[in-house]
Amino acid sequence: DLPTIYAITPTYARWTQKADLTRLAQTLLHVPNFRWIVVEDSDTKTPLVTRFLKFSGLQYTHLNAKTDTNFKLKSTDPNWLLPRGVSQRNEGLRWIRENLPANTGGVLYFLDDDNTYTLQIFEEMRSTKVASAWPVGLSGGLKFEGPGKCENGKVLEWYTAWKPERPFPIDMAGFAVHLKLLFQHPEAQYSNSVPRGYLESHFLTGLKLQRQDMEAKANECSEVLVWHTRTEKPKMKHEEALIKQGKSSNS
C-alpha cells in the first residue's frame, strides 16, 4: 500500500486566491493517496473555498483558524515583516493529532498555496521514514536552497547564504516528516515568536530532529522538484473604484 500524504495548506482571501488554489488543486488531482488539509485564515469557512473544495474532486479536510490581529500582515506591509501561515499550520496539526490514530502510516507536508510542485516531489516524499529534505528552487535568494550535496541518502552539505546558522536552512516546501513524529512529540508546532527565517527550524527542532537526520530526496538532492514561486498582486484600482461606488462587490 502507498503511504498517504497529508498536506496542510494555509490560505487567505485575496484577488488571486482562486487562481492559486486552482493551479494547485489541478496538480494534486494527479497525486494518489493524498489528503488535502486546507486551513483558511478566517473566522469562518468562506463560501468561495467551501465551494471550491466541494467541486475539486480531491479528498480534503476544510478547517479555519484566523491569524491573531497582532500577527496579521496589512495589505500594505512588506511580506517578510511577519511570519505567515502559523495558526493555520497549527490548526492542521491539531486536526491530525485529534483525528488520526497514532499509528497511522503516512507523511506530513506543508503545501503553501502559491508554490509550484512537480508530481515527482510527492512520490519522493512518500517513502519518508522519519524526515526527509530536498532543494527548493528560487528560495533564500538563491537558485535553490536546502541540501546541496548528498550521498547515500545523507546530506553532506547545505546550500544556503542567508542566516546559514539556522538549524535547518530550508524552505517550508523542502521537507516532509513521518506522521509518527507528530505523536511522539505532541507539543511540536509552529510559533509566531521566532526570528525571521526560523519557522521551519523551530518546528523541526521541536520534533527533536537534527540536520543529519534528514533523508536526502530528489536524486541525492541533485534535482529541483518544487519552486518557491509567488503570484503577482494585481493592481485593482478600477475595480476598487467601482467597489467604492457600490457597483461591485468586494469578493
* Residues with catalytic function: 200
Q: How many CA atoms lie within 13 A of 74 on its CB side?
A: 3
Element (DSSP H or E) covering residue 48: helix 47-54
Q: Residue 91 touches which of ligand UDP, Mn ion, none (CB < 5 to 8 A by kind)?
A: none
Grid coordinates representing 227?
Answer: 519552486
Q: Is 113 annotated as a binding residue?
A: yes
Residue 230 found at the interface with ligand UDP (CB under 6 A): yes
Smaller CB distance to Mn ion: residue 118 or 248?
118
d(CA 20, CA 54): 16
In the complex, minimum distance from the CB of residue 16 to Mn ion, in angstroms, rounded to a whole number = 11
Helix axes 17-28, 47-54, angle to 10 degrees: 20
Using CB under 5 A as the binding rule, whether residue 213 contacts Mn ion is answered as: no
Assess contact for 158 and 34: CB atoms under 8 A.
no
Q: Write the binding mask 94 to 123 for Mn ion: x where contact by CB under 5 A, - elsewhere.
A: ------------------x-x---------
Minimum distance from residue 139 beta carbon to Mn ion (Å): 10
Distance CA 112, CA 205 (A): 21
| Residue of the chain from 73, 100, 142, 194 that contacts ligand UDP (CB under 6 A) | 73
How many Å apart are CA 162 and CA 173, to the nearest integer?
Answer: 17
Q: Which is nearer to ligand UDP, 84 or 126 (CB)?
A: 84
Report, in Å, the least distance between residue 75 CB and Mn ion: 15
